A = this chain, B = another copy of it.
Amino acid sequence: MAIIKHNSDFTWENVDVLKYKEEGTHFKAITRQLLFEGNRDLAVQLRYFEIAPGGHSTLERHNHVHVVMVIRGSGKALIGSEVVTLGRFDIINIPSHTWHQFQAVTREPLGFLCLVNTKRDKPERPGKEELDAIRSNAVAAQFIKI
């Protein structure tokens, strides 16, 4: 199919609205849609994540990098030691091995495209030591949801 039509309200024709992850309590009110699954010619995936007001993604890190673009609403994110405010069409580069978490902190959902390599490592969540290290940064300590 050459074209995938946007229905409205950030769903697309013949694209399933999926669970963010299969299980866990380390995230809240977030969905996933796979917009481009990657192939031999272009070995990346383009996903759309949407976090409902009050929700958040998992606090995690991994070797693979993310390029993110907000296309709906607004929110905030922890990227390493920084908490950034996100608005529509802002672009976020998440380097390798950098702790990150997205949160929908306003009355709007936070919807964003996320670009990754098709082949990638599994995310890692912080253990007690890593959490202590993250929390040694007051800004991060106040922000994160576990």
Interface positions of A (Cβ within 8 A of B): 1-6, 10, 12, 35-36, 39, 41-42, 44, 46, 64-65, 67, 69, 71, 79-80, 82, 84, 86-96, 113, 115-117
Contacts and interface: CB of A to CB of B under 8 A. Distances in A.
B79 A2 contact: yes
The A contact surface, by secondary structure, is strand
Contact of A6 (B80, B87, B95, B113): B87
**Chain multiplicity (copies):** 2
B3 A84 contact: yes
A79 B4 CA distance: 13
B92 A64 contact: no
A116 to B, nearest CB: 8
